[in-house]
């Protein structure tokens, strides 16, 4: 018998209530993690507490659960991650079960720090809180629910008797309960902080094999991260952010206007024309046009100037639109809503803008295009770090639903000594990511003269918005990701928006430009 349990029970004692939150299969075997359960583990629940017992998740390295997908840890050698359960429950929740295996022979591996969600406050980056799925249609990263008084509705290394380490040749299985992706898909992309996302993992509506807390039994908070995909014209006249619902087009004020002026320049019309075409193709009935300034000057100058500039762009758009019935709302915010840091010239330049926001156009139906191959494509590059030869190899650029793409590539130290390779996180100085990550990667559509930037996860806080790269993290607990032993290979990844093309140029760190096929 398998079911979702209440995450708390009014009839149970506090100790037995804790027991109700155990994952599927969390009876610890002595051989599983190298020792007995935590001596402070709660006692068994009272006989009147409705608990379903499942099979032990900690095994001796011969687990028979079928893997639906797998990835390898970028940071920790010999840590294999496999999805062994992906069950939709009640049509709106998802139970994800992940098996972690130590495939090495000589040392124990720590797992809890790797699986923690680094976009949460420091005190809540624990346990399996980083297990989630990518809701491509909603352009959202879905993470485990947060109940009151706990970090997440997921496995807890101490409470569940998992311990901190996995012995060589051993495995443990952990779980997370989170919202189901929108659109009732049959497959989804499973994400973890450990390694590259796992694509096309099948979802079943069968009951999960185990006993899990019920998110409907008490108030829980969904933890979601909005995914924003950015691109920009090569002449830097505009940049576009796509969150799956709206387009936010930032037109460069330096291109549109002379200094301290609100009269459009001759070049402005051609820049604004692209935005007008996108509005014509969208279902928009209301378009917001907002003027912005950098931190130079005073509010007395910046606020009215930014409003006049917004009005100038609105009038130009009105004249260019072919579709009727579109209303405009204009705003002037001065320097109060910067997109980037104002401590660099490039950050200031990008903050001087007129932003046009409207519902994104529906993508046109794509006919499958023929793929032609003219011999072997060389997707490698070389450089050096700490005097050691470093090689890079692109392992794939996969097209995902809703215009998304996943780029994966490996970095290898081909030398005889240890080397630190830090060239992947050298982001441009205007980019405002919370932590260092593999941000120094760009895709370019030469024909459309457009560049695509790594995706960003948006996390609002009390007084600001933080951005995290939708790519491999290389800071905090993952700082050693950039250290390579002789002969060691690590795999990295980035999420991008992808244009409707079969190939695209890629620039990865210091390596040579590549022309990559999109699968």
Q: Give CA–CA dist 38/489, Å, rounded.
A: 36
- The rounded mean pLDDT for the chain is 85
The tally of CA atoms less than 13 A away on the side-chain side of residue 417 is: 7
Please, which pLDDT band fits residue 18 given cuts at 50, 70 and 90? very low
Please, which pLDDT band fits residue 429 given cuts at 50, 70 and 90? low
| DSSP, residue by residue, 144-192 | EEEETTSS-SB--TTTTT--SEE-TT-EEEEEEEEEPPTT--SEEEEE-
| DSSP, residue by residue, 104-115 | -SS--EE-HHHH
Boundary (domain end) residue, out of 190, 218, 246: 218
Same domain (yes/no): 393, 496: yes
In a domain, 371, yes or no: no
Q: Provide the token pair at 491.
A: 């795999």
| Residue 227 near residue 141 (C-beta atoms within 8 A) | yes
| DSSP, residue by residue, 264-304 | BPTTHHHHHHHHHHHHHHS--SEEEEEEE--SSS-HHHHHH
Same domain (yes/no): 421, 337: no
User: Which structural domain range is residue 413 located in?
Assistant: 380-517
% helix / strand / coil in the chain, to the nearest 5?
15, 35, 50
By the 10 Å C-beta count (0-12 exposed, 13-18 middle, 19+ buried), 241 is classed as: buried
In a domain, 337, yes or no: yes
pLDDT (average), residues 502-518: 96
Give CA angle at 323 (318, 324), nearest 5°.
Answer: 75
In a domain, 372, yes or no: no
- Residues 179-189 have pLDDT tens digits of 999 999 999 99
Same domain (yes/no): 245, 161: no
In a domain, 370, yes or no: no
Q: Give CA–CA dist 147/22, Å, rounded.
A: 14
- Distances in Å between the Cα of 70 and the Cα atoms of 83, 174, 198, 277 are 6, 14, 7, 42
Considering only residues 34 and 159, tell me which one the structure prediction assigns the higher pLDDT: 159
Q: Provide the token pair at 309.
A: 């500039």
In a domain, 368, yes or no: no
User: Residue 438: what pLDDT?
Assistant: 94
**What is the CA 115 to chain-centroid distance, rounded?**
14
Cα torsion angle, 341, 345, 348, 353, sign = negative
Q: Give CA–CA dist 312/175, Å, rounded.
A: 54
Q: How many CB atoms lie within 10 A of CB 278?
A: 17
Q: Shortest CA distance to 492 belongs to which of 74, 69, 70?
A: 74
Q: Give CA–CA dist 121/173, Å, rounded.
A: 25
Same domain (yes/no): 42, 177: yes
Please, which pLDDT band fits residue 232 given cuts at 50, 70 and 90? very high
Same domain (yes/no): 426, 459: yes
pLDDT at 54 over 50: no
Q: Provide the token pair at 152.
A: 């997440």
CATH of the domain at 461: 2.60.40
Q: Shortest CA distance to 418 belongs to which of 482, 498, 341?
A: 482
What is the radius of gyration, based on Cα positions, of the chain?
25
Please, which pLDDT band fits residue 343 given cuts at 50, 70 and 90? confident
pLDDT (average), residues 409-417: 98
Q: How many CB atoms lie within 10 A of CB 226?
A: 17
Same domain (yes/no): 47, 175: yes
Boundary (domain end) residue, out of 198, 218, 238: 218
CATH of the domain at 254: 3.30.1330.60
In a domain, 89, yes or no: yes
Same domain (yes/no): 130, 206: yes
pLDDT at 495 over 60: yes
Query: Which residue's structure tokens are 């830090």?
Result: 422
Query: Which of the residue ranges 17-21, 160-164, 420-424 would you say has the lowest mean pLDDT?
Result: 17-21
Same domain (yes/no): 270, 413: no
Considering only residues 38 and 122, tell me which one the structure prediction assigns the higher pLDDT: 122
Q: Of the ranges 1-15, 22-36, 64-78, which is most confident?
A: 64-78
User: Residue 431: what pLDDT?
Assistant: 67
User: Residue 4: what pLDDT?
Assistant: 67
Q: Shortest CA distance to 90 belongs to which of 9, 8, 153, 4?
A: 4
| Residue 333 near residue 290 (C-beta atoms within 8 A) | yes
By the 10 Å C-beta count (0-12 exposed, 13-18 middle, 19+ buried), 174 is classed as: buried
Q: Give CA–CA dist 22/7, Å, rounded.
A: 9
State what percent of residues in the chain have pLDDT above 90. Answer: 69
Q: Give CA–CA dist 94/179, Å, rounded.
A: 6
Q: Provide the token pair at 341.
A: 């840091």
In a domain, 373, yes or no: no
Q: Give CA–CA dist 373/383, Å, rounded.
A: 27
User: Residue 113: what pLDDT?
Assistant: 80
- Distances in Å between the Cα of 195 and the Cα atoms of 120, 399, 422 are 18, 18, 18
pLDDT (average), residues 458-470: 87
Q: Where are the beta strands (DSSP E) in 12-73?
A: 69-72
User: Residue 464: what pLDDT?
Assistant: 79
- Residues 262-317 have pLDDT tens digits of 999 999 999 999 999 999 999 999 999 999 999 998 999 999 999 999 999 999 99
pLDDT (average), residues 493-501: 95
Give CA angle at 97 (93, 100), nearest 5°.
Answer: 155
- Residues 23-33 have pLDDT tens digits of 333 333 322 33
Please, which pLDDT band fits residue 366 given cuts at 50, 70 and 90? very low
In a domain, 339, yes or no: yes
Boundary (domain end) residue, out of 218, 253, 288: 218
**Helix and strand counts by DSSP (H, E) for the chain:** 6, 30
Total domain count, the chain: 3
Q: Which helix (H) or strand (E) holds 305?
A: helix 299-320
Give residues with Cβ within 8 angstroms of 478, minimum separation 6: 74, 75, 114, 118, 193
Same domain (yes/no): 434, 337: no
- Residues 372-383 have pLDDT tens digits of 444 457 999 999
Same domain (yes/no): 213, 192: yes
Give residues with Cβ within 8 angstroms of 45, minimum separation 6: 12, 16, 19, 20, 51
pLDDT at 120 over 80: yes
Please, which pLDDT band fits residue 150 given cuts at 50, 70 and 90? confident
Same domain (yes/no): 151, 283: no
Q: Give CA–CA dist 360/249, Å, rounded.
A: 11
Same domain (yes/no): 422, 273: no
Which 3 state secondary structure label does DSSP give 119? Answer: coil
Q: Shortest CA distance to 131 belongs to which of 148, 149, 116?
A: 116
- Residues 208-231 have pLDDT tens digits of 988 899 999 999 999 999 999 999
């Amino acid at each position: 018998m398998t079911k979702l349990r209440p995450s708390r029970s009014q009839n149970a004692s506090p100790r037995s209530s804790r027991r109700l939150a155990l994952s599927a299969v969390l009876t610890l075997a002595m051989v599983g993690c190298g020792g007995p359960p935590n001596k402070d583990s709660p006692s068994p629940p009272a006989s009147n507490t409705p608990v379903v017992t499942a099979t032990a998740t900690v095994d001796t390295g011969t687990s028979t659960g079928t893997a639906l997908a797998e990835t390898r840890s970028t940071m920790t050698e010999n840590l294999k991650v496999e999805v062994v359960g992906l069950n939709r429950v009640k049509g709106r929740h998802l139970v994800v079960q992940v098996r972690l295996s130590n495939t090495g022979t000589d040392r124990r591996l720590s797992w809890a720090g790797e699986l923690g969600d680094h976009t949460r406050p420091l005190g809540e980056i624990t346990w399996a809180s980083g297990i989630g799925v990518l809701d491509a249609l909603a352009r959202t990263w879905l993470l485990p629910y947060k109940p009151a008084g706990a970090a997440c509705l997921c496995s807890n290394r101490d409470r569940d008797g998992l311990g901190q380490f996995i012995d060589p040749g051993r495995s443990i299985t952990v779980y997370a309960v989170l919202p189901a992706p929108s659109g009732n898909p049959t497959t989804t992309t499973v994400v973890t902080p450990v390694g590259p996302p796992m694509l096309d993992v099948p979802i079943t509506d069968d009951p999960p094999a185990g006993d899990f807390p019920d998110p409907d039994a008490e108030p829980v908070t969904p933890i979601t991260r909005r995914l924003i995909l950015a691109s920009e014209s090569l002449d830097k006249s505009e940049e576009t952010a796509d969150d799956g619902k709206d387009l936010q087009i930032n037109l460069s004020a330096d291109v549109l206007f002379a200094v301290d002026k609100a009269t459009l320049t001759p070049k402005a019309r051609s820049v604004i024309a692209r935005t007008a075409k996108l509005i014509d193709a969208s279902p928009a009935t209301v378009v917001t046009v907002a003027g912005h300034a950098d931190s130079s000057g005073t509010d007395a100058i910046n606020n009215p100037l930014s409003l006049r500039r917004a009005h100038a762009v609105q009038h130009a758009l009105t004249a260019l639109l072919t579709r009727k019935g579109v209303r405009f709302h204009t705003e002037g915010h001065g320097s109060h809503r910067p997109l980037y840091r104002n401590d660099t010239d490039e950050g200031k330049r990008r903050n001087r803008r007129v932003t046009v926001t409207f519902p994104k156009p529906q993508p046109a139906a794509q006919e499958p295009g023929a793929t032609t191959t003219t011999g072997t494509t060389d997707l490698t590059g070389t450089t050096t770090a700490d005097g050691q030869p470093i090689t890079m190899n692109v392992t794939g650029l996969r097209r995902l639903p809703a215009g998304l793409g996943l780029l994966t590539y490996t970095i290898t130290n081909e030398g005889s000594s240890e080397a630190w390779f830090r060239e992947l996180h050298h982001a441009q100085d205007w980019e405002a990511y919370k932590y260092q990550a593999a941000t120094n990667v760009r895709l370019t559509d030469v024909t459309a003269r457009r560049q695509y930037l790594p995706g960003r996860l948006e996390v609002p806080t009390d007084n600001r918005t933080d951005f995290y790269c939708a790519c491999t993290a290389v800071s905090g607990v993952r700082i050693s990701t950039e250290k390579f032993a002789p002969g060691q290979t690590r795999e990295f990844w980035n999420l991008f928006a992808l244009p409707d093309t079969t190939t695209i140029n890629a620039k990865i760190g210091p390596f040579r430009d590549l022309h990559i096929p999109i699968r």
